[in-house]
Chain A
Amino acid sequence: MADAHSTESNYLTATTGLKSWLFTLDHKRIGLMYLVGVLVFFLAGGIFALTLRTELLTPQGGDFISATTYNKMFTLHGAVMVFLVIIPSVPAALGNFLLPLMLGAKDVAFPRLNLLSFWIYTLGSMFFLFTLAAGQLDTGWTFYTPYSNTSGTAVISATFGAFILGFSSILTGLNFIVTVHKMRAPGLTWNKMPLMVWALYSTAVIQVLATPVLAITLLLLIVERTLMVGIFDPAMGGDPVLYQHFFWFYSHPAVYIMILPGFGIESELIAVHSRKHIFGYKAIALSSVAIAIISFVVWGHHMFVSGQSELAGIVFSFLTFAVAVPTAIKTFSWVATLYKGSIEFNTPMLYGLMFLFTFSIGGLTGIFLGALSVDVHLHDTYFVVAHFHYVMMGGTIIAFVGGIHHWWPKMFGVMYSEKWGKISALFIFVGFNMTFFNQFLLGQQGMPRRYWSYAPQFQQQHILSTVGGYLLLVGFTIIAIYLVHSLRNGEKVGPNPWNAQSLEWTATASPPIEHNFHGQPRVENDPYNFPEIDRTGSSH
């Protein structure tokens, strides 16, 4: 069926010209534009990070950049990576492209709203970057008061920028929720949805519910500055710790906005490339929902030593351990999926396996930080830096890169270089662990984070960390080169090169036609029911 359509136009070629992209209502084109935006900001955020790491080659500050520049750099690195890269990476870029295709729909429920979210994202990121640069913001991505009050009104405009970006998240989330509820193909029951869809759905729910809190925080900041009502600023009788409560009430759920979509990709990578039905489908799907709910009540674990009450600390510690359980269940289920499979070590699968390694470390080290007395020692040290990089980068970014490889042939109809894919995966695996594993050791020795200069006994580990950072640069550069190269020179592929079973592979060409499907696809099969599965066996 697909061959019959291979000569007709696809969504990339259906219309031409800049306008046909900027004003497109096609979710696939919007997804690709998000992807370009996210990757550009990822490059920028990476350059900021390497600037920091280069300064940290020597214990004394100022060999490369001044303290002031260093502080602005880590603010830019954190803010760009969180708000402009990780949050939109999977849901807005890959999610936009994939969700309607996986559901068998022609588009998302509200295509115009979708274009609006893209434009809000574009304007929001411009505004945000302009604020960070022009406002000389050096507060770190968390904008803690009262330090951020000393930077004049920059904190208001920065929060406003984050809020504009948040609005884009809310609209995308709303769109995805309605799309999943109303636009599933006939036969695609909730229990037959690919786990990627479940993850995008859970993420969308958090986006819609958590982001308004950021707006409330912003409103309070504006009230404080304009009406001089003391809310956060102790000089006016306010409470700076209150700001932290507000900030983390949004930003902790945001952590799960960042990681849940990564879980979704991981489920697809592991199942498709081991030719096995995903193990514990229901447990994985429902644990995403459980995480989405519990994620709203763990924000206080960022504040064990910040002066909140001991009782609050104890409650938040307990809830933090509660959120660890569904995460553990997912990890075990992915490993169990490999059992008696037919595992192919192609590039997407290498990232899938790498995810299990790095995310396990990220998750297990979270246990140290959830335990109250141990967190007292580790809080705000490099241990925390290492932990969240293992989760955010070792989890989300690794899954994102795996996902880009997995769906690259669907997006562009071409295959990337498998050989270079494997080489760069090796660089990234070694570089990542070299950069961040050392930082656990630095942290347990007491090296505080956000230090421009440090005691000489930490130097050896800082050097290793910096070298690891350069290896990551090499790895990502190789990926950029071969992916771009494949656009023109890559081997053309059929609609379903991985022989996967979900609709984006089985029911449309690569790349898909403009309106996704000829006719309405129907779903009879389970998305993980691969032909290799031995039905005759009595294994279950």
Chain B
Amino acid sequence: MILSLFTAPENADAPPPAAEGAAEAAADVVAAVSQAPLPPVETAHPWALPTAASTFAEDTDNLYLFITALDTLFFVLIMGAMGYFMWKYRRRSKDQKTSSITHSGVIEFLWSAIPTVLLLVIFVWGECDFVRQSVAPADPLEVRVTGQKWYWTVEYPKYPGVSLNSSTEEPALTLMVPKGKPVRLTMTSTDVIHSFFVPAFRVKRDVVPGRYTQIWFEATRIGEFNLFCTEYCGDFHSNMTGVVKVLEPDDFERELIKAGVLTQDEGESMAAYGERIYKRRGCVACHSVDGVDGTGPSWKGMYGRTESLSDGSSVKAEDQYIKDSIYEPNKQVVAGFAPQMPSYQGQLDESQVTAVIEYIKTLK
């Protein structure tokens, strides 16, 4: 009964299993997301752990609850003894006699040995689970994750052309995985250290520039879950969040391609396509469209303006300059901004760059 205090009830705030109607559940979640900056953290109350949505979660939670129980026991014992002594041996008279006891070999041995044994148990338990989390089973679904200020890019080697991005403005679908299949993330960063954290999966690993780090997990629940960056990475560290979606294996491929391939819809204008690219490919993280400069210059009224650059020269912000700035962003930096934009070479093709330029033209 006490343990249930610490674990979220099975269905609290999480969509019901697919068997009970996945389509309805998905619609509910989407509605909820559009109101809140993030999907709710899957806890029933402040004392609960997030919903367990991976095979690791249960193991980690069991150890968490074991330590909680043990800590509570020891805290109650220590405070109980202290409280009792405070009451029993409070000073009643000024010359109250006190005991001459100074030490006790037996007691000191016991209170050294018992914690040592308990701590060893906790160490081995945590170590075994950790080792299991370190080695992915054979043939997992491979996913590439790139962190950069302040969004995530997720690609799937098995599905070329598919790319998902988080957004600093809204909760955006960032990672899609099938339920019940091991997934291995190979992660790196293009700028500073980030950290990839999905509380519902109980996984976290730093994303380090210049090297690859890996985590793997197997999702066990259909639903949408939070993704947080947990290594401080600058101004909008707290906006470097995203949504992880777990789907039925049968739906996974279809939904992934639908969400991850960015192409111009039939009848869609170039500018509208450009706006979608702006939101989905991370431009929104640094460039506003309302005239307020962020990490980069706002796009409002930018097209056709003469910009002074940090090297003292100036340039007219037209097609050529915009395209150059997308592919080689740190060559001609507008004065007053730091050269920290990553290159989009290989990430946006010619027609997508054109669409972005068309979109910028509309922002007068």
Contacts and interface: CB of A to CB of B under 8 A. Distances in A.
Interface string B315-357: 0000000000000000000000010100000000000000000
Contacts of A331: 78
A234 interface: yes
A534 B98 contact: yes
Interface in A274-302: 274-283
A136 B55 CA distance: 44
B41 A445 contact: yes
A282 to B, nearest CB: 7
Given A343-B86, A368-B64, A539-B101, A448 B130 contact: no
Contact of B89 (A239, A274, A528): A274
A455 B42 CA distance: 12
A540 interface: yes
A445 B211 contact: no
B238 A376 contact: no
Interface in B254-268: none
A453 B238 contact: yes
- Main secondary structure, interface of B, reads mixed
Interface stretch (B21-29, B174-182, B226-234): B226-234
Contact of B100 (A329, A438, A533): A533
Contacts, number: 304
A374 B64 contact: yes
B97 A532 contact: yes
B60 A353 contact: no
A373 B86 contact: no
Contacts of A277: 100-102
B122 interface: yes
A535 B102 CA distance: 12
Chain B interface size, as a band, is 35 or more
A16 interface: no
A317 B123 contact: yes
Contacts of B111: 328-329, 332
B41 A446 contact: yes
Given A325-B112, A335-B82, A274 B98 contact: yes
Given A305-B195, A310-B131, A381-B230, A324 B37 contact: no
Contacts of A540: 99-102, 104
A521 interface: no
B2 to A, nearest CB: 16
Interface in B36-81: 36-38, 40-41, 43, 46-50, 56, 59-60, 63-64, 67, 70-71, 74-75, 78-79, 81
Contacts of A306: 193, 206, 208
Contacts of B30: none
B206 to A, nearest CB: 4
Contacts of A539: 99-101
B281 interface: no
Given A335-B78, A371-B63, A444 B130 contact: no
B49 A444 contact: yes
Contacts of B79: 356-357, 360
B208 A147 contact: no
B298 interface: no
B125 interface: yes
Given A276-B99, A445-B41, A379 B204 contact: yes
Contacts of A461: 46
Interface size class of A (residues with CB under 8 A): 35 or more
B91 interface: yes
Contact of B127 (A60, A283, A372): A372
A91 interface: no
Interface stretch (A121-129, A138-146, A196-204): A138-146
B208 A377 contact: no
Contacts of B116: 325
A59 to B, nearest CB: 7
A241 B193 CA distance: 9
For A281, A325, A461, A535, the residue with the greatest tally of chain B CB atoms inside 10 Å of its CB is A325
Contacts of A329: 108, 111-112
Contacts of B236: 67
Interface string A426-456: 0000000000001001001111111111111
Contacts of B192: 146-147, 150
A342 B91 contact: yes
A68 interface: yes
Interface in B137-190: none
22 contacts: A67-B235, A147-B192, A240-B193, A274-B89, A280-B103, A314-B127, A331-B78, A338-B86, A357-B79, A372-B129, A376-B60, A380-B230, A444-B49, A444-B64, A445-B50, A446-B41, A449-B232, A451-B238, A532-B97, A534-B97, A537-B99, A539-B100
